[in-house]
Amino acid sequence: MPNISIDYAKVNTVATSLNAAVTETVPKLTSLQSAVTALLTSDGGLWLQKSSPVLSQQYTDFNTSVTGAVNNITSFAQQFNNIVAQLQAMDDAISAS
Protein backbone atom coordinates (compact mmCIF):
# COMPACT_ATOMS: atom_id res chain seq x y z
CA MET A 1 0.00 0.00 0.00
CA PRO A 2 1.51 3.37 -0.99
CA ASN A 3 2.35 5.93 1.65
CA ILE A 4 0.89 9.35 0.82
CA SER A 5 1.66 12.69 2.41
CA ILE A 6 0.62 16.02 0.92
CA ASP A 7 1.80 19.43 2.08
CA TYR A 8 -0.49 21.77 0.16
CA ALA A 9 1.57 24.86 1.02
CA LYS A 10 4.80 23.29 -0.26
CA VAL A 11 3.15 22.21 -3.49
CA ASN A 12 1.76 25.70 -3.97
CA THR A 13 5.17 27.27 -3.24
CA VAL A 14 6.92 25.10 -5.81
CA ALA A 15 4.21 25.62 -8.44
CA THR A 16 4.39 29.37 -7.90
CA SER A 17 8.19 29.28 -8.20
CA LEU A 18 7.97 27.31 -11.44
CA ASN A 19 5.56 29.81 -12.96
CA ALA A 20 7.72 32.72 -11.78
CA ALA A 21 10.78 31.15 -13.40
CA VAL A 22 8.98 31.12 -16.74
CA THR A 23 7.78 34.69 -16.30
CA GLU A 24 11.34 35.84 -15.57
CA THR A 25 13.23 33.69 -18.06
CA VAL A 26 11.25 34.04 -21.29
CA PRO A 27 11.70 37.83 -21.52
CA LYS A 28 15.44 37.39 -20.92
CA LEU A 29 15.61 34.85 -23.73
CA THR A 30 13.72 37.23 -26.01
CA SER A 31 16.13 40.04 -25.14
CA LEU A 32 19.13 37.82 -25.78
CA GLN A 33 17.68 36.79 -29.14
CA SER A 34 17.41 40.45 -30.13
CA ALA A 35 20.97 41.14 -28.97
CA VAL A 36 22.42 38.20 -30.91
CA THR A 37 20.43 39.06 -34.03
CA ALA A 38 21.69 42.65 -33.88
CA LEU A 39 25.27 41.55 -33.20
CA LEU A 40 25.37 39.32 -36.26
CA THR A 41 24.43 42.04 -38.77
CA SER A 42 26.78 43.97 -41.03
CA ASP A 43 26.96 46.89 -38.60
CA GLY A 44 26.32 44.92 -35.40
CA GLY A 45 29.83 44.06 -34.30
CA LEU A 46 30.36 40.48 -35.45
CA TRP A 47 29.78 40.29 -39.15
CA LEU A 48 31.26 37.56 -41.31
CA GLN A 49 29.57 37.47 -44.69
CA LYS A 50 29.08 33.71 -44.79
CA SER A 51 29.20 32.71 -41.12
CA SER A 52 27.08 35.37 -39.44
CA PRO A 53 23.80 34.47 -41.18
CA VAL A 54 24.38 30.81 -40.31
CA LEU A 55 25.22 31.63 -36.70
CA SER A 56 22.17 33.86 -36.47
CA GLN A 57 19.89 31.09 -37.72
CA GLN A 58 21.49 28.54 -35.41
CA TYR A 59 20.99 30.83 -32.42
CA THR A 60 17.40 31.52 -33.45
CA ASP A 61 16.72 27.77 -33.63
CA PHE A 62 18.42 27.24 -30.27
CA ASN A 63 16.51 30.11 -28.66
CA THR A 64 13.21 28.80 -30.01
CA SER A 65 13.95 25.37 -28.56
CA VAL A 66 15.01 26.71 -25.16
CA THR A 67 12.04 29.08 -24.99
CA GLY A 68 9.70 26.19 -25.74
CA ALA A 69 11.32 24.08 -23.02
CA VAL A 70 11.10 26.91 -20.50
CA ASN A 71 7.45 27.52 -21.36
CA ASN A 72 6.77 23.83 -20.70
CA ILE A 73 7.78 24.34 -17.06
CA THR A 74 4.29 25.73 -16.49
CA SER A 75 2.83 22.33 -17.38
CA PHE A 76 4.56 20.86 -14.34
CA ALA A 77 3.19 23.62 -12.12
CA GLN A 78 -0.28 22.96 -13.49
CA GLN A 79 0.10 19.21 -13.04
CA PHE A 80 1.13 19.66 -9.39
CA ASN A 81 -1.81 22.00 -8.78
CA ASN A 82 -4.20 19.53 -10.45
CA ILE A 83 -2.95 16.67 -8.29
CA VAL A 84 -3.54 18.73 -5.14
CA ALA A 85 -6.99 19.82 -6.30
CA GLN A 86 -8.01 16.23 -7.05
CA LEU A 87 -6.71 14.98 -3.72
CA GLN A 88 -8.51 17.77 -1.86
CA ALA A 89 -11.75 16.95 -3.69
CA MET A 90 -11.36 13.26 -2.90
CA ASP A 91 -10.65 14.02 0.76
CA ASP A 92 -13.70 16.29 0.96
CA ALA A 93 -15.91 13.68 -0.72
CA ILE A 94 -14.79 10.92 1.62
CA SER A 95 -15.25 13.06 4.72
CA ALA A 96 -18.75 14.10 3.59
CA SER A 97 -19.99 10.54 3.09
Q: How far apart are CA 76 and CA 85, in angstroms?
A: 14
**Tell me, what's the pLDDT at 54?**
98
Q: Dihedral sign, CA of 16, 21, 24, 29? A: negative
**pLDDT (tens place) for every residue of the chain, 97 residues total:** 788 899 999 999 999 999 999 999 999 999 999 999 999 999 999 999 999 999 999 999 999 999 999 999 999 999 999 999 999 999 999 999 8
Global confidence as pTM: 0.84
Type of residue at 22: V
Question: What residues have CB less than 8 Å from 26, skipping those under 6 apart?
Answer: 67, 70, 71
Question: What residues have CB less than 8 Å from 8, skipping those under 6 apart?
Answer: 84, 88
